[in-house]
Amino acid sequence: MHIHYNLSDNKKPVLLLIHGFLGSMQQWEHIEHQLLVHYSILKIDLPGHGSSHESKTPFTAADFIEALNFILKQEHIDRLTILGHSMGGYLGAAFAKANPKKIISLIMLNSIAGKDPKEKRLLRDRAIQLIQKHKEAYVSMAVNNLFTKVELEEFKERIHKMKMKAQTISIESIVHSLLYMRDRESSLQELKNLDIRVIYIFSLQDDIIEPALIKTECDYLNIQGKTIDCGHMSLLTNPANILEKMYFIE
C-alpha cells in the first residue's frame, strides 16, 4: 500500500495528522499553521483519498500500519504524537496498539477506539449498496450528515470544497473504507493496558459518533474527555477550539 504524505520538519516533535472518511490532508489547513509552532507536521492521505493510490483490494489496519511504518523509517521518525479525526482516529488507535513504543500521545478527535456498534455496521452495509448505484447523491448526503443544520449554512464554501474533493474518490475506494470501518477490531482494551497518553476531543452535536459512546470509552480508560459544541467535522468548523483543547499536550 502506498500512502501519499507531506512532512513539514522544523526539528520539533512530530505530530501526525490523519483525516477521516471522504476527507484529505488538505482539511487540516485551518489548524496546521498554529500547530507548526510546537510540532513538525506529518500529514497523510488515506488509501484512495487525496493523492494516495487506490487500493486494489480492501485494506486492513495491518496494511495501514505497514505503510505508515515505512514512512516513519524513510523520514527517521522514532516517536510521534497522533491526531486522528474519525476514521483517522480508528487507524491511529490501531497503530498505537501495534507500536506503543513509537507513540508519545494519541489524540482521538471525534473518534473512538472500539468497534462499530451493531447498528452502525448495518448502516455501513446500506451505504455500500447505495453508493454503487448512486455515488454522487451518496457522497453529497454523506458529507451533509457530518455537519449540523446551522453549520451547513455557515460553512457552505468549506462544505462545497469537501464535496468536490470527495466526488473524485472512486466507488471502490469508498467501499474499501466502509468495509474497513465496518470490520475493524477494537483497540480499546489494549489502550487501557498500555502506557500511552490518550486524549479524546469530541463534539456535543456529533450525529456520526454519539457523545455518549465516546464518554463510555473515556470512563473505561479513566480519562476526562474534552468537549466542543459543534458537529462531526470539528476540524473544519471549530479549529480554534481544537487548538484550545490541545494546549496541555505540549
Tell me which DSSP letter residue 115 carries: P
pLDDT at 250: 47
**Cα–Cα separations (whole angstroms), residue 46 to 67, 115, 214:** 10, 19, 23
Domain that holds residue 183: 5-249
Our count of domains for the chain comes to: 1
**Residue 125 phi/psi, 5° resolution?**
-60, -45
Helix (H, G, I), strand (E, B) or coil at 106: strand
CATH number where 204 lies: 3.40.50.1820
pLDDT digits 0-9 by tens, 122-138: 999 999 999 999 999 99
Order of all β-strands in the sheet with 103-109: 5-8, 40-44, 14-18, 80-85, 103-109, 197-203, 226-228
Q: Express each pLDDT in 93-125 by its tens digit.
A: 999 999 999 999 999 999 999 999 999 999 999
Q: Which helix (H) or strand (E) holds 40?
A: strand 40-44
Please tell me the distance from the alpha carbon of residue 46 to that of residue 60, in angstroms, as a whole number.
12
* Model confidence, pTM: 0.96
